[in-house]
Amino acid sequence: MKDIPIADVRNFALLGHTGSGKTQLLDAVLFKLGINDRLGSPADGTSFADWSDEEKARKISIWAKPFYATYPTNGRKIRLAMLDTPGYADFYGQVVAASAVADAALLCVDAVAGVQVGTYRMWRRCEQLGTPCGIVVTGLDRENADYNKILETLQRLWGVRCIPVVVPAPGGQSVTDALGGLDLPAAAERARTALIEAAAETSDALTEKYLAGEALSADELAGGLRAAVNQRKLIPVFATVAKAGTGIQELLAGITRLFPSPADRPVRDAAGQAVATAPEAPFCGLVWRAVNDPFIGQLTFVRVYGGTLKPDSEIYDASRQTRERIGALLAINGRKQEPMPEAHAGDMVALAKLKATVLNDSLCASGQTITFAPIKFPAPVMAVAVTPKTQGDEDKLGTGLHRATDEDPTLKVERNAETHEMILSGMGDIHLDVVLKRMKARSNVDVLLSIPKVAYKETITGKGEGHYKHKKQSGGRGQFGEVYLRVEPLKAGDPEWFVDDVVGGSIPGNFMPAVRKGLEEGLTRGVLAHCPVVHTKVSVYDGSYHEVDSSEISFKIAGMRAFSDAMAKAKPVLLEPIMKLKVLFPDQYMGDITGDLNHKRGRILGMGAEDGMQFITAEVPQAETFKYASELRSITHGRGSFEMEYLRSDVVPQHIAQKVIAEAQKHKAEEED
């Protein structure tokens, strides 16, 4: 961005529902700006933006990617940093990252499909962040395209602040810039009047001038409109036919006139202090994406918030309190890498081969300690158990999964201590499939997938007495230990699950730690399905010992067996994890979704409307949710989405518990054989 002032920088994220024309629009913009020498198309695999093999094969965007260009206008050079994002729900984490660091957003709406579930989700994201937005209506040349209907929907949903800046002719053959001059068509003239009113409302001085019947000057109108967009009081609406290049010039003009610069969007660090954007200020930035790609190598993408970053310099990772030496600064355009002489506020620069820095780290000039709040990513909603297909590939599998999670915070890998499975969680089946195929290409490890085992637990619903005398004599010193105990449900707020009620020394004090160890071991394997035992209080009140034969191992065994005896008498039950789901979908799928949730033993907690969509909140057993991402996509034809979180554990219904217990006993018998 050398020699281009910060006031002439525009960066924005391109957002929208899958299939809304984002990437085709970006291809048209890149062609218009001379970044690509031909007009690419995602549909035929020639897209400049979706260049990876995975994206070409699936015909969808998978990763958020920055693109750079310079746009000359009115004797100035505008520096554009554009972030293309996926519309597919499985890759929403990429949207979260890009939108967190962009100064504005351009939301694509298809002229036929209209506002869809992904559109609402992107809009809510921008609302949460307070991000200025524009909307571009795409695909106006398609059959059944209806710009006026789309505009009415936008204004009904998000208010009359949605005002056309570009008005299309019927069929999208041409467009008119409502701010472009005189002798405008009626629709464009109405839009111009509304835009002038929006500009006038941004300050008392402009309001007074407008109400007095005086015309706003060109500078006043331009400043007022930019202020209105920055304050989200104006949502400019554009119109394009990307393949024909119609409306692309007007869109670029509108972005440069109306979208904010980094100087217009003050940023605060994690301590709440304002960050100086000026080039002479100390450098600071945030890592919003990290990638290790066989084509473009290891890259760390940084949003520069202030100061100047130069090649061949030392910076400080304030998150890890380490120093990093950087080489070249890179501007990334698809597969192309171009060196940057320096980077300033608003730039999305790529740094190669950093040693310790990872996603969400805060970087700053040496001698500074500027940190930013980390980007918060959505929790995974789908999980699979993974095992290496080839015995001996466990280390390769672990390395590959670790690398994948470093790049993608919506992935989670953990070894379940209760089921002993390696669990990979993500945002959906397509997301996980992409991750595993990418891991295969990089780490050469094949995996087997299975539905995860449910981490059932056991507890008791009553009281029970237990007793066990461990006595063993086989020559020499024997083993002897006897324990009496009782169990009962552990009350909420009771801090201690173990109580020593022994009096009179029937169990010497030096053996009580061994008794407790036996109880702790018993708590790891219940009497029903050998699951961990929770919410259970144990009181040891009597026993006996032998002066010679008693030992720690004797009392450990006695405690464990006495616990099993007591638990079997205390009305034990099986517990399963219960998840809370919030499902968002178009109205016509209400019956199908409620019926499916009921079939999954779900309990509907509430229903309502949100941004023109319907939603249901429900409690559903985890055992019924492992395939819900793909099932919901099938039910709603890709128009539904959901969020999920752990809620609590609850008693498993008897008929299902019997199956779980039978399976556990069968597995135990096979192990013993």
* Residue after which a domain boundary falls, among 365, 394, 424: 365
Q: Would residue 275 count as lying in a domain? A: no
251 plus 302 within the same structural domain: no
* Residue after which a domain boundary falls, among 365, 400, 426: 365
18 plus 167 within the same structural domain: yes
Asked if the model's pLDDT at residue 402 lies above 70, the reply is yes
pLDDT value at residue 665? 87
332 plus 392 within the same structural domain: no
28 plus 122 within the same structural domain: yes
Q: How far apart are CA 657 and CA 86, in angstroms?
A: 42
For the chain, give the mean pLDDT. 93
Mean pLDDT of 450-463: 95
Residue count of the chain: 673
Q: What is the largest CA-CA distance in the chain?
A: 113
80 plus 149 within the same structural domain: yes
Asked if the model's pLDDT at residue 543 lies above 60, the reply is yes
What CATH number is attached to the domain comprising 152?
A: 3.40.50.300
pLDDT value at residue 612? 76
Q: Would residue 186 count as lying in a domain? A: no
Cβ atoms of 284 and 128 closer than 8 Å: no
Q: Would residue 272 count as lying in a domain? A: no
**Residue among 19, 11, 105, 109 nearest 67 (CA):** 11
445 plus 469 within the same structural domain: no
Mean pLDDT of 15-30: 95
Asked if the model's pLDDT at residue 1 lies above 60, the reply is no
Kindly report, residue by residue over 567-613, the tens digit of the pLDDT: 999 999 999 999 999 999 989 999 999 999 999 999 999 999 987 78
Q: How far apart are CA 9 and CA 5, in angstroms?
A: 7
Asked if the model's pLDDT at residue 657 lies above 90, the reply is yes
Q: How far apart are CA 574 and CA 551, in angstroms?
A: 34
Asked if the model's pLDDT at residue 475 lies above 70, the reply is no
26 plus 98 within the same structural domain: yes
**pLDDT confidence of 445, banded at 50, 70, 90?**
confident
* Residue after which a domain boundary falls, among 525, 543, 570: 570
Q: Would residue 288 count as lying in a domain? A: yes
**pLDDT confidence of 546, banded at 50, 70, 90?**
very high
Kindly report, residue by residue over 78-100, the tens digit of the pLDDT: 999 999 999 999 999 999 999 99
> Torsions phi, psi of 485, nearest 5?
-150, 170
Written as six digits, the tokens of 14 are 């391109």
> Torsions phi, psi of 502, nearest 5?
-75, 130
Asked if the model's pLDDT at residue 181 lies above 80, the reply is no
Q: Would residue 67 count as lying in a domain? A: yes
353 plus 303 within the same structural domain: yes
Written as six digits, the tokens of 633 are 């996509």
What CATH number is attached to the domain comprising 562?
A: 3.30.230.10
Cβ atoms of 114 and 21 closer than 8 Å: no
Structural domain span for residue 440: 382-450
Cα-to-chain-centroid distance, residue 501: 51
587 plus 565 within the same structural domain: no
Q: Would residue 222 count as lying in a domain? A: no
What CATH number is attached to the domain comprising 611?
A: 3.30.70.240
What CATH number is attached to the domain comprising 441?
A: 3.30.70.870
438 plus 345 within the same structural domain: no
Written as six digits, the tokens of 17 are 């529902």
> Torsions phi, psi of 198, nearest 5?
-65, -40
Better pLDDT: 101 or 173: 101
554 plus 590 within the same structural domain: no
Kindly report, residue by residue over 131-142, the tens digit of the pLDDT: 999 999 999 999
Q: Report the C-alpha dihedral over residues 143, 144, 149, 153, rounded to 10 degrees.
A: -90
Q: Would residue 190 count as lying in a domain? A: no
Asked if the model's pLDDT at residue 673 lies above 80, the reply is no
Q: Per the structure, how many domains does the chain have?
A: 5
Cβ atoms of 298 and 326 closer than 8 Å: no
Q: At 71, which helix (H) or strand (E)?
A: strand 65-73
What CATH number is attached to the domain comprising 346?
A: 2.40.30.10
Q: Would residue 611 count as lying in a domain? A: yes
> Torsions phi, psi of 488, nearest 5?
-155, 160
Global pTM reads 0.87
434 plus 495 within the same structural domain: no
Mean pLDDT of 260-282: 94
